[in-house]
Amino acid sequence: MLKKGKEEIIYLLNKCIEKFESENSTILTKNTNRKNYKPLAIALSEISNNLPLSAEKLGPRANWKRF
C-alpha cells in the first residue's frame, strides 16, 4: 500500500530502526529521549555522507530508473 507524507516517514523510520536493531543485535528504547537514538543517528549520517559516492558508482542520473 502506498503511503503519503507523515505515514511514509514513520514507516521508513520504523524500517530503519528494525534493520539497525537486527544488524546490531540491540534494541533501541523508543521514546522522546534523543540520546536513545544516537547510535541510529550516527549510522544514518554515515549512509547520508556516502550517498554521493554511491551515486557515482551507479552511473549517470539518466540511467536511474524512476519509480
pLDDT (tens digit, 9 = 90+) per residue, 5-29?
Answer: 889 888 988 999 999 999 999 898 8
Nearest to 36 by CA among 17, 60, 15, 59: 17
- Whether the pLDDT of residue 67 is over 60: the answer is no
pTM above 0.85, yes or no: no
Kind and range of the H or E run holding 10:
helix 5-24
Confidence of residue 60 (pLDDT cuts 50, 70, 90): low
Please give the pLDDT value at position 15: 93
CB 24 within 8 A of CB 39: yes
Burial class (CB in 10 A: 0-12, 13-18, 19+), 44: middle
More confident residue, 67 or 58: 58
Please give the pLDDT value at position 42: 93
